[in-house]
């Protein structure tokens, strides 16, 4: 307990230094939010396994380290960045190194007029009205200590704005690279994506590191999909197995909007991904898909909340996990269908394959239904690799390892094939191949 | 090509095969018949290398190699093919992916060049005609949602592509209507040659009207109790397995 307080003091004590570095930026309304969030942070406690929402995920290992906010500018080799790109694609790329926008590595291509893609720090400086309207509105920092920490230290992250009716045809690839060497650094990407009425955009949030080191990523992403807007979001998490990754995504869905999220993760030491989406009006469609592949002593926790607040909305959720060695997985998917939300269709499923005797999954699909004319289902499975299928493949001359790879690819395939862009799918196939072949 | 000597094998501590002796030469077709539970499928699975089955004693030689020392995939690469009684459904793996991977692993093992996509497609197009399968079928997941007949045809199609030296057909005829049976049998017959051999495991004599065997063996309680030419199959059809059972009982009593 005492240790936890020390850690909190540590994060609070860094704030003075942080403020100095803001260099005049401390006058803005955003800064008021930062300070509010800091006081929330000092009031709130870090969760323990006594909290229902953190029952299976102990963050004690995270609290053992004094992570330092990263200020240094780092250079990353072009080759490394190239290894993170999708083949045969010409699209906008924005790169963040240790949480800070790297203009020299970023390139903006084929963006329709009025679309903004770039650093949130720049937009804070410019007092961008869209930013001021939406920032911090969806990811509440009153009750969530990690969001409070993120909000207090808001500095940089990705900002994407797609004005009314604009279609961004090519995906926007955002890469967050951590290069910490031997320093235990704290990276806090703070992202805001706003798609206005009838606009369309595909955004890839990609987390990577250049070496296996210990660092802490605390990411918050807010997404606004206005009426009739279509937003596809893909998150790729390829981080160090010694890293800590706490992330939260909040999605606001307006009338007839269509949002989809795909998470592909090879985990970290400890990963917590929260995906929360809320239908604020009728006719919305939301897909939440995920694939986690972990081993060693990794812990991966996916927490999702699908809030059907209004009628005539559809949600589909499918998370799949492959766990080896002593790794642990947590899936907690909650679907709330509120009293108003008649004619809701909500489907949720979580399937897991355990490759070892010592791996473990705690899965908890939850449905809370307060309306009476709805179609909802949920389910979870935990199983082993299908030995019959493996024998079948081997009896055709395919070796043990290749057979295993084929079957795990197959297990993952419905999550991967639901991603629309071929080159992204190919990239993900490579991640899976690297993992299992 | 294949020589089985006094083979005893079982699963989970139960001995099912109790001393099998069988010799199969290149160019021959052997039918193994027998009532349910006599050990026919066990023999097929043991030859293919199913790990769940335990070989208790005995020897199996395949082209001068100790077959029992080879793992499942190497047996396939050496030219053994098992057409499954119940082909396994594998969602997410396409027929193309399975066959191309299998074929190239086998070719690699034999030190042959891997086929590129164009060569592979040409090959499967030719072989598909043999079992009257539609091209569309290649992109479907392995056996997923296939009818019983489609599954069996798929087994024969895979056999045609992989071109084994020794094919073991495990109850490939059961559950097939006469049209599907003819297609399957026709596929098998076209693949027959003086260089390869076939073991047809079946419960019914019907299949043997279409795939004419050189030898028929009757398996009962884990042993081959009768061997003969194709006329043995007709006798079995006429008298039923009870004839074998009573015959064996007599022999034991006598």
Q: Which of A318, A320, A392 should be substituted to probe chain B, the one whose Cβ sees the most B Cβ atoms within 10 Å?
A: A392
Report yes or no: A418 at the B interface, CB cutoff 8 Å: no
Asked if the C-beta of A410 comes within 8 angstroms of chain B's C-beta atoms, the answer is yes
The interface pTM score, or ipTM, of the predicted complex is 0.94
- Cβ of A68 under 8 Å from any chain B Cβ? no
pLDDT in tens, B139-160: 899 999 998 888 998 999 999 9
B94, closest residue in chain A (CA to CA):
A410
Nearest CA in chain B to A404: B93
Q: Using an 8 Å CB-CB cutoff, list residues of chain B that contact chain A.
A: 48-52, 71-73, 75-77, 81-82, 84, 87-88, 90-93, 97-99, 101-103, 105-106, 109, 141-142, 158, 162
**Chain A contacts of B101, Cβ < 8 Å?**
398, 402, 406
Residues A392, B72: C-beta atoms closer than 8 Å: no
Report DSSP state, residue A373.
Answer: S
pLDDT over 70, % of chain B = 97
pTM above 0.90, yes or no: no
Residues A204/A171, Cβ–Cβ less than 8 Å: yes
Q: Which residue is closest to A417 within chain B, CA to CA?
A: B92
User: Cβ of A396 and B76 within 8 Å?
Assistant: yes
CB contact under 8 A, A407 and B90: yes
The string of pLDDT tens digits covering residues A142-197 is 999 999 999 999 999 999 999 999 999 999 999 999 998 878 999 999 999 999 99
Task: Output the pLDDT for position A358.
Answer: 96
Name residue, tokens 């290649």: B138
Distance CA B155, CA B201 (A): 14
The widest CA-to-CA distance across chain A, in whole angstroms, is: 70
Smallest CA-to-CA distance from B27 within B208, B217, B192 is with B192
Shortest Cα–Cα distance, B101 to chain A (Å)? 7
Q: Which chain A residue has its CA at the smallest distance from B164's CA?
A: A396
Angstrom distances, CA of residue A341 to CA of A155, A374, A382, B144: 38, 8, 31, 37
Q: Is A396 in Cβ contact with B90 (below 8 Å)?
A: no
CB contact under 8 A, A406 and B49: no
For residues B38 and B202, give the distance between their C-alpha atoms in angstroms, rounded to a whole number. 11
Of residues A402, A410, A412, nearest to B90 (C-beta): A410
| Residue A27, strand partner residues | none
DSSP β-ladder status, A158-162 and A116-119:
antiparallel
CB contact under 8 A, A398 and B109: no
CB contact under 8 A, A399 and B105: yes
CB contact under 8 A, A393 and B90: yes
According to the model, what pLDDT value does residue B132 have? 83
How far is A123 from A125, CA to CA, in rounded Å? 5
Neighbour order of strands in the sheet with B215-220: B80-83, B166-170, B197-202, B29-33, B215-220, B223-228
Quote the CA–CA distance of B83 and A384 in Å, as a whole number: 25
B76 vs A397, A411, A413: nearest CB: A397
CB contact under 8 A, A393 and B102: yes
CB within 8 Å: A388 and B49: no
**Hey, are the CB atoms on B105 and A413 less than 8 Å from each other?**
no
User: CA nearest A31: which of A188, A190, A154, A159?
Assistant: A154
pLDDT at A134: 96
Across the interface, whether the CB atoms of A410 and B93 are under 8 A apart is answered yes
Question: Residue A112: CB partners within 8 Å, gap ≥ 6?
Answer: A166, A167, A168
Question: How distant, in Å, are the alpha carbons of A307, B48, B74, B238 from that of B207?
Answer: 60, 22, 30, 15
Q: Is the pLDDT of residue B174 over 90?
A: no
Chain A environment of B93 (Cβ under 8 Å): 393, 406-407, 409-410
Predicted confidence (pLDDT) at residue B254 exceeds the cutoff of 50: no
> Which domains does chain B carry?
2-253 (3.40.50.300)
Candidate from A391, A411, A414 with C-beta closest to B72 = A391
For residue B252, what pLDDT is reported? 53
The size of the A-B interface in CB pairs under 8 A is: 77
CB-CB under 8 Å, B105 with A400 = no
The pLDDT assigned to A245 comes to 98
Give one DSSP letter per residue of A112-144, joined into a string.
PTT-EEEEHHHHHHTT-HHHHHHTTSSS--SS-
From B156's Cα to the closest Cα of chain A, the distance in A is 12
Vertex A428 angle, CA A295 and A219, to 5° = 70
A401 touches chain B (CB under 8 A): no
Q: Please list every residue in chain B whose beta carbon sits closer than 8 Å to the beta carbon of residue A403.
A: 73
Determine whether the interchain pair A389/B88 forms a contact, defined as Cβ–Cβ distance below 8 Å.
yes
Distance between CA atoms of residues B83 and B98, nearest Å: 15
Chain B residues within an 8 Å CB radius of A407: 90, 93
Across the interface, do B105 and A394 touch by the CB < 8 Å criterion? no
- A182 touching B, CB under 8 A? no
Per-residue pLDDT tens for B52-84?
Answer: 999 999 999 999 999 999 999 999 999 999 999
Residues of chain A with pLDDT under 70: 1-4, 24-27
Residue A133, min C-alpha distance to chain B (Å): 45
A93-119 residue pLDDT tens: 999 999 999 999 999 998 999 999 999
| Cβ–Cβ below 8 Å for A410 and B82 | no
B97 interaction partners in chain A (CB closer than 8 Å): 406
Angle between helices A15-22 and A2-13 (to 10 degrees): 20
> A394 to chain B: which residues are within 8 Å by CB?
49, 71-73, 76
Distance CA A38, CA A22 (A): 15
Rounded to whole angstroms, the Cα distance separating A28 from B34 reads 88
């Amino acid at each position: 307990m005492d240790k936890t307080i020390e850690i909190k003091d540590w994060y609070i004590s860094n704030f003075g230094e942080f403020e100095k570095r803001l260099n005049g930026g401390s006058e803005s309304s955003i800064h008021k939010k930062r300070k509010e969030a800091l006081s929330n942070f000092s009031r709130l406690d870090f969760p323990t396994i006594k909290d229902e929402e953190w029952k299976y995920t102990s963050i004690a290992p995270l609290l053992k380290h004094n992570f330092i906010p990263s200020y240094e500018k780092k250079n990353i080799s072009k080759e490394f960045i190239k290894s993170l790109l999708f083949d045969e694609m010409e699209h906008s790329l924005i790169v963040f190194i240790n949480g800070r926008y790297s203009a020299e590595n970023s390139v903006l291509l084929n963006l329709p007029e009025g679309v903004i893609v770039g650093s949130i720090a720049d937009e804070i400086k410019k007092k961008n009205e869209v930013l001021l309207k939406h920032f911090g509105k969806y990811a509440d920092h009153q009750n969530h200590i990690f969001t409070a920490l993120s909000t207090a230290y808001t500095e940089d992250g990705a900002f994407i704005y797609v004005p009314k009716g604009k279609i961004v045809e090519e995906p926007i690839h955002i890469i967050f690279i951590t290069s910490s060497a031997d320093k235990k650094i704290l990276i806090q990407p703070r992202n805001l994506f706003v798609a206005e009425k009838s606009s369309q955009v595909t955004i890839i949030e990609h987390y990577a590191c250049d070496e296996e080191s210990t660092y802490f990523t605390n990411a918050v992403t807010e997404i606004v999909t206005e009426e009739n807007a279509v937003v596809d979001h893909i998150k790729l998490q390829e981080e160090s197995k010694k890293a800590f990754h706490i992330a939260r995504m909040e999605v606001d869905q307006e009338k007839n909007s269509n949002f989809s999220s795909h998470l592909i993760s090879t985990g970290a030491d400890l990963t917590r991904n929260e995906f929360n989406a809320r239908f604020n009006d009728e006719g919305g469609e939301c897909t939440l898909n995920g694939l986690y592949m972990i081993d060693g002593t990794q812990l991966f926790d996916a927490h999702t909340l699908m809030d059907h607040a209004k009628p005539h909305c559809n949600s589909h959720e499918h998370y799949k996990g492959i766990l080896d060695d002593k790794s642990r997985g947590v899936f907690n998917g909650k679907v709330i269908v509120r009293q108003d939300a008649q004619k809701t269709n909500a489907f949720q499923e979580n399937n897991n394959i355990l490759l070892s005797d010592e791996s473990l999954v705690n899965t908890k699909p939850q449905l809370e239904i307060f309306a009476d004319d709805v179609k909802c289902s949920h389910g979870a499975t935990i199983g082993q690799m299908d030995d019959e299928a493996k024998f079948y493949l081997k009896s055709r001359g395919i070796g043990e390892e290749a057979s295993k790879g084929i079957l795990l690819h197959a297990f993952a395939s419905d999550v991967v094939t639901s991603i629309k862009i071929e080159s992204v799918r190919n990239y993900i196939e490579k991640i899976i191949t690297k993992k299992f072949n | 090509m294949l020589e089985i000597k006094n083979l005893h094998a079982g699963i989970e501590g139960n001995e099912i095969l109790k001393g099998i002796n069988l010799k199969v030469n290149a160019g021959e077709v052997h039918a193994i018949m027998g009532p349910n539970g006599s050990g026919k499928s066990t023999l097929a699975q043991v030859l293919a290398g199913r790990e769940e089955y335990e070989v208790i004693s005995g020897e199996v030689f395949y082209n001068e190699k100790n077959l029992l020392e080879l793992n499942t995939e190497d047996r396939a690469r050496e030219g053994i093919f098992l057409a499954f009684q119940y082909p396994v459904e594998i969602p997410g793996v396409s027929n193309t992916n399975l066959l191309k991977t299998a074929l190239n692993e086998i070719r690699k093992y034999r030190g042959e060049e891997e086929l590129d996509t164009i060569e592979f497609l040409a090959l499967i197009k030719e072989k598909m005609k043999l079992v009257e399968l539609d091209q569309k079928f290649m992109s479907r997941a392995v056996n997923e949602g296939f009818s019983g007949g489609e599954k069996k045809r798929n087994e024969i199609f895979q056999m045609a592509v992989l071109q084994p030296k020794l094919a073991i057909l495990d109850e490939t005829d059961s559950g097939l209507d006469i049209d599907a049976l003819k297609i399957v049998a026709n596929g098998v017959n076209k693949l027959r040659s003086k260089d390869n051999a076939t073991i047809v495991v079946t419960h019914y004599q019907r299949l043997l009207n279409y795939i004419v065997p050189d030898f028929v063996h009757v398996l009962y309680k884990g042993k081959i109790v009768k061997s003969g030419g194709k006329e043995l199959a007709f006798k079995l059809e006429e008298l039923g397995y009870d004839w074998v059972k009573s015959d064996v009982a007599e022999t034991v009593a006598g």
